[in-house]
Each structure stands twice: as C-alpha cells, then as structure tokens.
C-alpha cells in the first residue's frame, strides 16, 4: 500500500461524523462524545503505530495496523483507564465477546503513585457499529 493515509480517508468516507486531524506522518480521530477516546495512526517508513490515548501497539504490517485503527473506532472496543491520584497510569484495551468484556492488552507507566487508591474509567467509541449489537 503506497499511501496508508489515503486508504484511511477512503475507508472512512462513509462516516461523515468522523472528526480528524492530520499532519505529515499521522492521522487522529477525535472522539464524538465525552465517553470516547482519541485514536491515532502514525507512520514512519515501514512501521506503524496505533494509539488509543495512553495505549499503543507497533505494527510492521499496514493491514493489521488499519484493522486495529478500525477496531478502536468500533463499539466492540473499550478502553479501561486506571488512575491513581487523578493521573492515568494504565490503559487496558478490551473487546466485547459473547456478552462480556475481555481484556486484550495493556500499556502502563512503571512509575506511578501506587500508594493512592485506584479509580477506573471506561471509554468507548461507536463510530463503527458492530453486527453483534444488532
């Protein structure tokens, strides 16, 4: 694929509600509600990074990266954010399967206020509606 950003624009033409920001090496999808989260696609030669706020994944395969991007914008994905002392320190990506949320992967900071009580916030986009929800 010569231009992943052009492919992203093409795939998301059918979602007029999608709000994006672009620069030379990335495209960001802004949440459509306060319950959502930012989804980013970064390119660096033959490497790609998809980020959901503090969570991120590295890819060498552009199709896998694009699938992850779409997943983050779907209602089958949820981001669990754990904070301590009001500061987020862990981001867990979950997927909806057979009526329950299942953790997929997580990213976190090594240094955080471990002595503070944790609080959990869930964020979810719904730009792409799943077949399961129907």
Q: Which residues contact 115 (CB under 8 A, 6 or more apart)?
A: none
Q: Does 29 share its domain with 65?
A: yes
pTM: 0.89
pLDDT at 16: 82
Same domain, 59 and 82: no
Tens-place pLDDT, residues 68-89? 999 999 999 999 999 999 899 9
| Residue 129 counted as domain residue | no
Tell me the pLDDT tens digit for each residue of 100-134: 999 999 998 888 888 889 899 999 998 998 765 44
Give the model's pLDDT for residue 129.
Answer: 85
pLDDT at 49: 97
**Over the stretch 26-58, which tens digit does the pLDDT of each residue have?**
999 999 899 999 999 999 888 999 999 999 999
For 23, list phi and psi in degrees, rounded to 5.
-140, -170
The number of domains in the chain is: 2
What is the pLDDT, as a whole number, of residue 1? 64
Quick one: pLDDT at residue 91? 96
Q: In what order do the strands lie in the sheet with 47-52?
A: 19-23, 26-30, 39-44, 47-52, 55-59
Spatial distance between the Cα atoms of 124 and 134, rounded to a whole number of angstroms: 17
Q: Are residues 53 and 83 in the same domain?
A: no
């Amino acid at each position: 694929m010569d231009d992943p950003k052009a492919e992203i624009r093409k795939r998301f033409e059918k979602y007029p509600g999608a709000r994006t920001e672009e620069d030379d090496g990335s495209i960001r999808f802004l949440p459509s509600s306060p319950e959502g989260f930012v989804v980013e696609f970064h390119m660096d030669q033959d490497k790609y990074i998809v980020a959901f706020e503090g969570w991120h994944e590295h890819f060498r395969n552009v199709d896998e990266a694009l699938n992850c991007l779409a997943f983050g914008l779907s209602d089958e994905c949820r981001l669990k954010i754990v904070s301590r002392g009001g500061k987020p320190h862990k981001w867990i990506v979950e997927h909806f399967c057979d009526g329950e949320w299942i953790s997929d992967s997580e990213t976190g900071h090594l240094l955080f206020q471990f002595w503070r009580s944790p609080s959990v916030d869930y964020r979810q986009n719904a730009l792409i509606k799943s077949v399961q929800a129907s």
